[in-house]
Chains A and B, each alone.
Chain A
Amino acid sequence: MTNQTRPKVGIFGLTSCAGDQLQILNCEDELLRLVGRIDIVDWVMAKSGNDHTCRLDIAFVEGVVATERDLETLRQVRARTSFLVALGTCAVWGGLPAMRNDLPREVLEREVFSKVVDHLDTVEARPATDFVPVEYRLPGCPIERHEFLQLVDSLLAGTVPELPAVPVCFECKTRENLCRVIYFDDVCCGAMTRGGCGARCPSHGVACAGCRGPIEEPNYDANVQMFAARGITWREIATRMSNFSAPVWMTYGLRSEAHHDDH
């Protein structure tokens, strides 16, 4: 392929830990192969001499919108891009920075944020997907390298990959791990979280924290009931389930139950 036919690509970070961009850099050998096939014209983290205005065939955006400047960047990127990818759980769901946005504050703030809650109201971090339409959502905190490479290869072939439709729980079973809920009474988010990580955390003897965001149609209430039936307090269930992507995790049911527990 010549320079003329290589698609022009931009990679951008809004407010974030830069972990998804780092995962792209962590592709190391593959990265050198990739730059022969795509033309990365705008990537502030990795190069100088960037073109901030040209049309982009593909753009990847990581992070949450936490400042006006973030929003401006996001809108500019959207306007110049044909195929926009929300990269990582922050961009797709809001991730950890959005944790506080949808916490059932009326229930938990007295215990949880008693001294600082006034300050927290001043900033609300929201996912990129709340502000602009995107063509693809690649979750993960951080993204899985193989999923990123698969996405780029697919785009070059004129298609898009399908994300795993099964939850982490399914992958965990295939690895024959001891269940973190049944054997250890953990609040494990594996049954509600999109697979693709190979059940990395439970395979290390650690409960799933839900970092890849929810699978389609997760049954939150059944999970919550299951944890509660094992004697775990509503409060603990709520704080552990709300670590990632609070807006999606926190169902009305959990909120009202937590409220009962509190009184």
Chain B
Amino acid sequence: MTTTRTISIPHLGRVEGHGGIFVKVVDQTVSEVNMDIHEGSRYYEALLVGKHFLEVQGIITRVCAICSANHTVTALQALESALGIPQSPRVHTLRGLMLQGAAIESHALHVFALALPDFLGFDSVMTMAAKYPDEVAAALRLKQLGNKVQALIGGRAVHPINTLVGGFGKVPSHRDLERLRGELAAGIDVAMSFVRLAATIPGPDFAARPTVFVALRPYDDRYRFRGNSICTSTGEEVPVASYRDIVREFTVEHSHAKHSALASGSTYQVGSLARLALWGDRLEGRAREAFQMLLPNGVVDNVLYNNWAQLVEIVFGLEAGVEACDELLGMDEVAREQAEYTVRAGRGVSATEVPRGTLFHEYEIDDDGLVLAANVITPTAQNLANTERDLRHATERLLAAGGVNDAQLRLNLEMIARAYDPCISCSVHVVRVN
């Protein structure tokens, strides 16, 4: 006689966007594992066709709110690459600072408000705040600090407006940068106190599975969020402009988002844990200390540790933010910065490391500066296939151990999906019918 057991989580809570998990077990064998993505499609890339390149940022940033600064920087860099506009040191540093602000905000939101309640037995950060008011308030202040960085540089925390092709509408004043520097520096100790707290929480091993990690090689010899080639933990490396050679997208029936695999067919993981796996040995200062405390034996193949990897990157982001402020304070104070350029036809690709992993943007524009084609590949879309592998493996492992009830299984599967910090709005913008 055949026994069938299904685990269905129609609305995955505490993630951005609409998704669910469906697992079917027949006679103790996992027969089906779907990460269902049912957010509607918005056809952003098609909306861009025919728009002037100066309008691209304001449109593409709205693929996703949490990732708006990241889409902004990546889009602008890709457009500048198409137009042959070099980045001035000021623009490069301001954008780097904005990426760190976005990472601090996004990581703090995910680690403290979305993931941590699972580990401490709460259903939300709001109920957690009733028991740990001071800790939650401090965590939210870190998140707020990330927003302040984005607001100062981008003009507002969500959907930046100050960010232009070739420059900035308004360059932050030295007075504002000095104040921000002080707040970032003061945040480091706060973040380290959470690192010490997290180091006491045991990491469950039900999600452990050999994993291929992918991240950009930093543009210099330090830990960076920008770079010019894509590296895998299996030793492959290709230039960013050839991203289509390494990232293979394919569609699956149960998802409005495409899935990705490497050309070899292997699924892979992008994000904080992947960056630490590939470049964590380059961390310096307190971030290095945080890395050693949370992952004393280095990165392990267990996505649940992505939560702690994000915590390490909060410390890194604060330190990198202080450094960026110092660089900017060492430059002349100007009101506005705008590179001179001539409009020409071209194609440009840019990739950045953003909170959830590697983000790719590609644009092709014509002689009048109108967009002919656009392509965006988000980290969440790249992680989906790997998430399903992890869910399958964990289900098999938990069933083999025996005695696991549906509620426990459901919670553990949710924890895996949440650890990837999926950004479902991002993942579905991209479905194109061609």
A residues in contact (CB < 8 Å) with B: 13-23, 25-26, 28-29, 31-32, 35, 40, 43-50, 52, 64, 66-67, 69-70, 95-97, 99-100, 108, 111-113, 115-116, 119-120, 122-123, 125, 141-142, 200-201, 203-206, 209, 211, 236, 239-240, 243
Contact = CB atoms under 8 A, between A and B. Distances in A.
B120 interface: no
B155 A96 contact: no
B50 A108 contact: yes
Nearest to B429: A17
Given A46-B125, A96-B47, 15 more contacts: A25-B113, A28-B144, A29-B140, A48-B14, A95-B62, A96-B44, A100-B43, A111-B50, A113-B49, A119-B432, A120-B46, A142-B65, A142-B158, A203-B170, A243-B58
B58 A49 contact: no
Contacts of A200: 155-156, 161
Interface of B: 11-18, 38-44, 46-47, 49-52, 55, 58-59, 62-66, 68, 109, 113-114, 117, 123-127, 129, 133, 136-137, 140-141, 143-144, 147, 155-159, 161-162, 164, 169-170, 336, 414, 425, 432-434
Contacts of A123: 40-41, 43
Nearest to B126: A35
Contact of B65 (A22, A99, A111, A239): A22
A16 B425 contact: yes
Contacts of A13: 17-18
B41 A19 contact: no
A45 B15 contact: yes
B109 A116 contact: no
Contacts of B12: 44
B62 A15 contact: no
B433 to A, nearest CB: 4
A243 B126 contact: no
B162 A240 contact: no
A201 B138 CA distance: 31
A50 B46 CA distance: 36
Contacts of B47: 96, 99-100
A239 B52 contact: yes
B16 A122 contact: no
Contacts of B14: 44-48
A26, A50, A64, most chain B CB atoms within 10 A? A26
Given A49-B123, A116-B46, A236-B52, A66 B40 contact: yes
Contact of B13 (A16, A44, A112): A44
Given A18-B64, A19-B68, A45-B16, A35 B40 contact: no
29 contacts: A15-B39, A16-B425, A17-B64, A18-B17, A19-B62, A19-B64, A26-B157, A26-B158, A31-B140, A32-B126, A35-B126, A44-B12, A45-B17, A46-B124, A47-B123, A48-B414, A49-B124, A64-B42, A66-B40, A66-B42, A95-B62, A119-B432, A120-B43, A122-B433, A142-B65, A142-B159, A206-B169, A239-B50, A243-B58
B158 A23 contact: yes
A108 B12 CA distance: 41
Given A45-B14, A201-B155, A206 B38 contact: no
Contacts of B425: 16-18
B338 to A, nearest CB: 9
A28 B43 contact: no
A18 B42 CA distance: 13
Nearest to B15: A45
Given A141-B159, A206-B162, A239-B51, A18 B16 contact: yes
A45 B136 CA distance: 18
A96 B129 contact: no
B124 A206 contact: no
B62 to A, nearest CB: 5
A17 B123 CA distance: 24
A64 B62 CA distance: 13
B113 A15 contact: no
A115 B58 CA distance: 23
Contacts of B133: 32
A105 to B, nearest CB: 11
A206 B336 CA distance: 11
A34 B394 CA distance: 38
A204 B65 contact: no
A50 to B, nearest CB: 7
A1 B6 CA distance: 42
Contact of A206 (B41, B68, B147, B161): B161
